[in-house]
């Protein structure tokens, strides 16, 4: 939640010149809460987002130039990921963690054993953990983890199978590129919200479960999906009518 507030305050500081310092104060307070929570995954996500989000400004310029920039940025990011993988044990030990990511990888391996029993359609919405609770013979790590996958993509796969995961990935990638197009067409700071949230959603669901369920994260995902479609249609109507002027950078 503090990471989400940090994201909102960051965007607010970019939009409002009058309340610029209020936005940065809220961002700083959110980061302090994340540090105080001792959540290493939230802290890493915060650092990554604060590096990646400013780079999205490149989408306001010519598409071809932005493509060159992102090719270089992706290559650099790939090298950094490779470096982290080869030095994962050292980096995690400095953060007070081990290679199991607080036993997450052990939990994921145990879940995958059940995944192959229902690979295509899963166990139904919130059905996997209901099935586990009704089964007396299951790994103890599942109870220790409080019947929680700690990975949104794995949770989605266990509930809805590979079919559900494929639909989500297709929708996510489609909306991600639509968000870039929306920035290209509007060229306003507010237009970055969709792309910011999609990045946030991907990052946080690598180590937490925030895709399904009755929570603010799922609500924002739904509003992003439908909001992007609506905003792009409205934008296209304005462009076709000739009433839409190119915003100044």
Task: Give 87-129 pLDDT, tens digit per residue.
Answer: 666 766 767 677 677 788 888 888 888 999 999 999 998 888 8
Q: Which residue has the higher pLDDT, 136 or 130?
A: 130
CA distance 53 to 51: 6
Using one digit for the tens of pLDDT, what is the confidence trace for 51-70? 888 888 877 776 666 666 66
For the chain, the structural domain boundaries read: 106-249
Give me Rg for the CA atoms of the chain: 20
Could you give the C-alpha distances from 74 to 93, 107, 200, 201, in angstroms and in order? Answer: 27, 30, 17, 19
Q: Is 157 exposed, middle or buried (0-12, 13-18, 19+ CB in 10 A)?
A: buried
- Average pLDDT estimate for 161-169: 94
DSSP class of 58? G
- Residue 168 or 96, more confident: 168
Is-contact 34 43, C-beta < 8 A? Answer: yes
pLDDT band at 243 (very low <50, low <70, confident <90, very high): very low
Q: What is the mean pLDDT of residues 131-150?
A: 81
* Structural element, H or E, at residue 4: helix 2-15
| Cα gap 215→155, rounded to integer Å | 15
31-35, 100-104, 182-186, 235-239: least confidently modelled range: 235-239
């Amino acid at each position: 939640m503090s990471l989400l507030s940090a994201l909102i305050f960051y965007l607010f500081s970019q939009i409002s010149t009058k309340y610029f310092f209020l936005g940065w104060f809220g961002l700083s307070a959110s980061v302090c809460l994340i540090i105080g929570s001792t959540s290493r995954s939230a802290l890493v996500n915060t650092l990554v987002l604060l590096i990646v989000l400013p780079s999205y400004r490149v989408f306001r310029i010519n598409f071809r130039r932005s493509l060159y920039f992102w090719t270089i940025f992706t290559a650099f990011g790939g090298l950094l990921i490779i470096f982290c993988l080869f030095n994962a044990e050292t980096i995690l030990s400095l953060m007070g963690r081990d290679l199991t990511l607080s036993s997450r990888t052990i939990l994921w391996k145990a879940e995958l054993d059940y995944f192959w029993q229902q690979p295509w359609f899963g166990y139904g919405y919130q059905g996997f953990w209901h099935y586990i609770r009704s089964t007396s013979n299951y790994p103890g790590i599942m109870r220790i983890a409080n019947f929680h996958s700690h990975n949104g993509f794995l949770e989605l796969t266990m509930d809805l199978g590979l079919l559900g995961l494929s639909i989500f990935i297709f929708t996510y990638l489609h909306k991600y590129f639509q968000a870039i197009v929306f920035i290209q067409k509007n060229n306003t700071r507010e237009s970055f919200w969709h792309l910011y949230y999609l990045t946030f959603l991907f990052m946080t669901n690598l180590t937490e479960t925030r895709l399904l369920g009755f929570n603010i994260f799922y609500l924002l995902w739904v509003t992003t999906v439908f909001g992007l479609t609506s905003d792009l249609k409205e934008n296209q109507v304005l462009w076709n009518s000739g009433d839409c002027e190119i915003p100044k950078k």
